[in-house]
Structure 1
């Protein structure tokens, strides 16, 4: 009897991301991923479960990458305003490839309420402690929402920014957060 192939989860998640970006959420199927990975559908299902479980694994991967970007900027347990500052820096510093990945992720997330709820929890966990009774808390909320809006516009190709315009936007949002605007 032959040995069962070992599935490299990170490689398969990378292939899933590639399919998601190339073919959209509908193109990311267990069958398409198995074919791309050169394994059986059962192997993918054994490693990840359902398509929703696969997307949840992608979300976990993206969240770990985000944390790896933000923690060096503000530490592992930043206060609410510092969390927004770290998020802003990570947003402004992302590459064009990261924005393309974000658009694919968002398209996949809106397919099911389960993933939308996970994302809501993520935002609440990182930014839910802002004290909106203070000017600093209100500026942080406004900065966060402005950064996310700009991020979405860029990720979905709704607005184009030159590198200088993007850096300038980041500087303006930094100034808003600091109360200098």
Structure 2
């Protein structure tokens, strides 16, 4: 599959950044074009409407989310450690797409809501595969949500500190479970 044109990628990144930082109302076609460093005509060439921008964002979110799940499954430190550490200190591009999609759902964009649900289900499935217990996987997902909440509220340093503090507890819990001494 060929790579999308650079201008198209710049426009999507600009749209996601504006929506994540300032909200969907601030992401006018003019503002997106200016932030992307393209003309409004250049933006319209790649995305003929605001709806097309939203759908482009959703497509990118799904692709990046799927890549993140693959990275999670292949992580040398294990899926759980990967998931929790990236919840505290998530890759900027995926974070902006996730936050932007979350904001867009507030205006009723069902495609964004479905994309978020799909990615979250994939992360949960990878956790379930890693720990072999759906309840424990759900607990770990909620811990990741808490770390992520700290990070997106602008306290990423605190989120990373929290992860470092609880990492030994999580490791101990998983080790105890593997050896038969953990929760059922």
Q: Which interval holds the TM-score relative to the shorter structure?
A: 0.5 to 0.7
TM-score normalised per structure 2:
0.65
Count of residues in Structure 1 that have an aligned counterpart in Structure 2: 167
Matching residue of 2:117: 120
Matching residue of 2:47: 48
Assess, with a 3 A threshold, how the Cα gap between structure 1 residues 109 and 87 changes in structure 2: closer, same or farther: farther
Matching residue of 2:153: 156
Deviation of the 1:162 alpha carbon? 6.2
Counterpart secondary structure, 2:158: coil
Structure 1 gap segments, 5+ residues each = 1-5, 77-81
* Alpha-carbon distance in structure 2 between the residues aligned to 1:61 and 1:112: 19
Residues 39-79 of structure 1 show CA distances to partners (whole Å, capped at 9, x for unaligned) of 12x54234124324323322433444444444344239xxx
Deviation of the 1:125 alpha carbon? 4.1
C-alpha contact (below 8 Å) 1:70/1:90 kept by paired residues: no
TM-score normalised per structure 1:
0.65
Deviation of the 1:94 alpha carbon? 2.6
Matching residue of 1:39: 39
2:142 is the counterpart of 1:145: yes
What's the Cα RMSD here? 3.8
Residues 136-160 of structure 1 show CA distances to partners (whole Å, capped at 9, x for unaligned) of 2211111112211331233134897
Alignment of 1:87-106 (within 5 A): 87-94=83-90, 97=92, 101=96, 102-106=98-102
